[in-house]
Structures are given as structure tokens and as C-alpha cells.
């Protein structure tokens, strides 16, 4: 196994928040080099990231069940605000995204 892969697999155990996602700390390193790694190394990395993301999914589901944060009206208001629009008097048909 590649030494860098060994290091990252250990790092995933201690710092899983650094992995999984487009903006994660290690994404650029992994994505730029994964095509050049041995098949077993690629599978080890993607498998470990999959486990991290599966755990995050479970955490998000539990969080939403325990304390629901999003309602449709809140979502609409956030989208409108993000575009600098006041939702009063504005219809979706007139909204340009």
C-alpha cells in the first residue's frame, strides 16, 4: 500500500471532519492523485470516505429527527434573502435565479 494512502487512512480515523465533500481539506490532494494509485489504494480511500459520509448521513438524520431545523417557508425566505429579494409581494414566477 502506498505510504500516503496509509497516512490518510489513519488521519481519517482521528480527523474525519477533514474528509468527504468538495471543500474538504484533503479533497484536492486525493482528487488530483487518485487516478495514479493502485486499484486497492483507490478502493481503500473511497471506502473510508464512504464510511465517513455514511456516519455523517446518520448524524444528520438523527439531528433532524431530534430538532427539525428546516421548514418550507424558512427555505423560501433563505433563497429569497440570498438573492437580495424581499419575499413580500414577490412570486416565484417573477423571481430570476
Determine, yes or no, domain membership for 94. no
- What are the distances in angstroms from CA 54 to CA 23, 40, 82? 17, 21, 29
Determine, yes or no, domain membership for 92. no
Helix intervals (H) in 36-71: 39-66
Quote the pTM value. Answer: 0.68
Q: Which domain holds residue 53?
A: 3-87
| Cα 8 from Cα 6, distance rounded (Å) | 6
Contact 48, 12 (CB under 8 A): yes
More confident site: 96 or 86:
86
Determine, yes or no, domain membership for 8. yes
Determine, yes or no, domain membership for 47. yes
Going by C-alpha positions, the residue among 2, 13, 4, 94 that lies closest to residue 39 is 2
In this model, does residue 90 exceed pLDDT 60?
A: no
Q: Give the model confidence (pLDDT) of 36-61 as tens digits.
A: 999 999 999 999 999 999 999 999 99
Determine, yes or no, domain membership for 96. no
**How many structural domains compose the chain?**
1
Determine, yes or no, domain membership for 15. yes
Determine, yes or no, domain membership for 50. yes
Determine, yes or no, domain membership for 16. yes
Amino acid at each position: 500500500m502506498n505510504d500516503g494512502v496509509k497516512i490518510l487512512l489513519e488521519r481519517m480515523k482521528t480527523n474525519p471532519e477533514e474528509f468527504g465533500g468538495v471543500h474538504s481539506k484533503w479533497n484536492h490532494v486525493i482528487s488530483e492523485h487518485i487516478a495514479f494509485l493502485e486499484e486497492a489504494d483507490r478502493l481503500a480511500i473511497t471506502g473510508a470516505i464512504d464510511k465517513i459520509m455514511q456516519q455523517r448521513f446518520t448524524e444528520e438524520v438523527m439531528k433532524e429527527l431530534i430538532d427539525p431545523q428546516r421548514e418550507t417557508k424558512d427555505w423560501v425566505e433563505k433563497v429569497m434573502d440570498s438573492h437580495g429579494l424581499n419575499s413580500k409581494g414577490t412570486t416565484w414566477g417573477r423571481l430570476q435565479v
